[in-house]
Structure 1
């Protein structure tokens, strides 16, 4: 989006901003953040948290829908278009958000979406909201480019950029850990309630994430190291160790299936 002219009225600048797909993308992330915050607050206060949970996933569907549309264009009924969608992580998150949207609320599932939305929303505020709502006058901008004082807008934008750059990797590792351990662990508890479908569908999602995301592969590696160390403890019954080794071997083969098939696509 081009930098708005400071001579334009605030109303015109805002109208030009909100009439873009990118603003709809930003609004989706804001909904996800607001809905997630209200959901967790409701959980802490022992109140009904289903409505903010729904709001959060409506936001996720909007933001990921915009990204997919801008990336792939109008849906097409052909194999090439379908293959591009399958290997697009945004499509995977859109489908996951759609599934969580129609499912009974599981609070931990909001954590990855809220984390992503935090970084995306901050980036939009830095690059679009601040220049549009608080443009720097031409005279000030020209003086700031030299040895004059730095404007508060530039300072704020730099602080946002510094924070996001500093915390991005740690946040992505945190998200991967939540996806691999937190969400799947919570879903595995559903085995006792015969909630098998969610486990199968989420396992499919993790299989793609393992292939596409370095952070998720690292999370699986850390989990394997921890469980391997536990299995070596002499206090662990041999039958448990054998069951763990069999399960680990099955999961490894399951996860690598996508990697092995990918070159043939």
Structure 2
């Protein structure tokens, strides 16, 4: 390819960016790219520092991307003060609670607001990053790949690789995300001894940690109601626990305690957490 052709191609890519920059979806894409970058920086910096700087930046990027989607779905023609409709419109409130975009937005907001007190939630960014990877690849393939400074064969190769990755690993990725969300609970179990130590020294830590745990429980229950991958992950963990309890190496009373008392208590506590009914449910993108 000649130098002149390279310049034309590069200009074409620049024009593509300029055109895309006029749409909200482009900034949604940029937000996902930033989330991935900050996730990587947070992972690397965690070996040297306990700072939550990159963790918080990743959450801000998450809030930005989900905020764009929520605005487009529920407040498209409402302007900047459309959020005021939530207080007046019961049907809108119900649709918002049922929207998984809103659920993820609120979870990220809880993580961000609590990070100054309890630090980053262990595994809190995993599912967001999994989703971001697929969103970035899909957007890049659809909107940017065709104008990249590559010849036709190279573009076809990249297109085939992206197609293979997204089609092969999409379901596994959704299961991984659901599993990462479920395992958020385990992180809080390890903080229980610390909470007993801090309850009189730093009561705010205990209050915030308990509140975040409650938010995660509500989030997981809502996901369990509407998401088959969350249901599958919960079933898998339930089966694994029962396999251990019924292996013959543990007292049989533990199996009875787990399957009757503990699961009964969990069901009793989480039964009030339900998705509100609406006349017509808006599907999220």
Scaled to the shorter chain, the TM-score interval is 0.7 to 0.9
1:38-60 deviation digits (Å, cap 9, x = unpaired): 111112x3224411111111110
**How does the TM-score come out when normalised to structure 1?**
0.83
State the alpha-carbon separation in 1 of the partners of residues 192 and 50 from structure 2. 25
Question: Equivalent residue for 1:122?
Answer: 137
Matches within 5 A, 1:142-157: 151-157=153-159
SS in 2 for 1:109: coil
Residue 263 of structure 1: how far off its partner (Å): 8.4
Question: Equivalent residue for 1:110?
Answer: 125
Residue 244 of structure 1: how far off its partner (Å): 2.0
1:99-157 deviation digits (Å, cap 9, x = unpaired): 11122212411111111100001111111122344498xxxxxxxxxxxxx53223312
Question: Equivalent residue for 2:170?
Answer: 168
SS in 2 for 1:223: helix
State the alpha-carbon separation in 1 of the partners of residues 144 and 122 from structure 2. 30
2:99 to 88, 101, 107: 88
By relative contact order (CA 8 Å, sep 6+), the higher-ranking structure is 2
| 5+ long unaligned stretches in structure 2 | 1-8, 196-205, 281-285
State the alpha-carbon separation in 2 of the partners of residues 207 and 196 from structure 1. 17
1:33 to 36, 40, 43: 36
Matches within 5 A, 1:45-84: 45-73=47-75, 74=78, 75=82, 76-77=85-86, 78-84=89-95
1:232 aligns with 2:233: no
**How does the TM-score come out when normalised to structure 2?**
0.77
Check whether the contact 1:187–1:198 (CA below 8 A) recurs between aligned residues: no
| 5+ long unaligned stretches in structure 1 | 1-5, 137-149
State the alpha-carbon separation in 2 of the partners of residues 219 and 35 from structure 1. 27
2:225 to 194, 206, 211: 211
1:38-89 deviation digits (Å, cap 9, x = unpaired): 111112x322441111111111001111111111123323111111101000
Taking a change above 3 Å as real, the CA distance of residues 234 and 14 of structure 1, as seen in their structure-2 partners, is closer
Check whether the contact 1:31–1:58 (CA below 8 A) recurs between aligned residues: no
Check whether the contact 2:66–2:105 (CA below 8 A) recurs between aligned residues: yes
Compare 57-66 and 242-251 and name the one that shifted more.
242-251
Matches within 5 A, 1:221-260: 221-237=235-251, 240-245=254-259, 246-255=261-270
Question: RMSD in angstroms over aligned alpha carbons?
Answer: 2.7
Compare 68-77 and 197-206 and name the one that shifted more.
68-77
SS in 1 for 2:180: helix
SS in 1 for 2:120: coil
Q: Report the count of equivalent residues.
A: 246
Check whether the contact 2:12–2:147 (CA below 8 A) recurs between aligned residues: no
1:19 aligns with 2:22: yes
SS in 2 for 1:105: coil
